[in-house]
Amino acid sequence: MTQKTSAFGAIEVVRAPSTLSGADREQCAAEIQSCIERHRVRIVLDLSNMLLIDSNGLEMLLDYNEQCLRRGGEVVLAGANALCSDILHITGLDQQLNCHKDLRTALGSFAR
């Protein structure tokens, strides 16, 4: 699956694949890394098409968020389905990552 990245001003939106595991996770990680290398560290990861996330995917989110935070940005999550929201909640990552129900509110979170 080809990743898609869109720019909304200073914010990059990366559309997540259907899963954040295996090769899909690696492809998504490469897309986020590309944003960081271009000094685009305000990133919204659009999870609206994602069905499942594994432990390696969760770790990837934390790692990239930490990299962005150190550079004055952040990785914000948008549109997680019920299962992914439950996974984020059970693992406590919903408290460590900025999570929003949709893309619009995620983009707006950078206005604060």
Q: Look up the CATH number of the domain holding residue 98.
A: 3.30.750.24
Task: State the residue range of the domain holding 37.
Answer: 4-111
pLDDT tens for each residue of 79-110: 999 999 999 999 999 999 999 999 999 999 99
* pLDDT for residue 1 is more than 60: no
Give the separation between CA 32 and CA 34, rounded to whole angstroms: 5
Number of domains in the chain: 1
Closest CA to 45 of 90, 91, 22, 93: 93
* C-alpha distances in Å from residue 105, one per residue of 13, 35, 36, 79, 98: 13, 21, 22, 10, 11
Does this model's pTM top 0.75? My answer is yes
Closest CA to 99 of 56, 53, 33: 53
